[in-house]
Amino acid sequence: MKLEVPDGSTVRQALELSGILERFPTIDLETQKVGIFGKLTKLDAVLENGNRVEIYHPITADPETVERRDR
């Protein structure tokens, strides 16, 4: 999803403006990590033009013990 935010917006502000927190109420920004282009960052990090904001959630299954699924 592309979203235009005012210059100087933070990661938190962009996530709030995106509506994703209302769409997915289980997202908890106080416990889940966020990043920009695959690198961890803080919620108060100021965004630059073209940044991709990501929300990370914990792995729910151990990849070494889960049977591989063929697609």
Please state, rounded to an integer, the average pLDDT across all residues of the chain: 91
Alpha-carbon gap, residue 36 to 14, rounded angstroms? 12
Determine, yes or no, domain membership for 4: no
pLDDT band at 33; cut points 50, 70, 90: very high
Look up residue 29 and give its two tokens: 């920004």
Determine, yes or no, domain membership for 1: no
45 or 58, greater pLDDT: 45
**What is the pLDDT, as a whole number, of residue 55?**
96
Domain count, the chain: 1
The helix (H) or strand (E) run that includes residue 36 is strand 34-36
Determine, yes or no, domain membership for 17: yes
CATH number of the domain that 30 lies in?
3.10.20.280
Cβ neighbour number for residue 45 with a 10 Å cutoff: 17
What is the pTM assigned to this prediction?
Answer: 0.79
pLDDT band at 29; cut points 50, 70, 90: very high
Cβ neighbour number for residue 41 with a 10 Å cutoff: 18
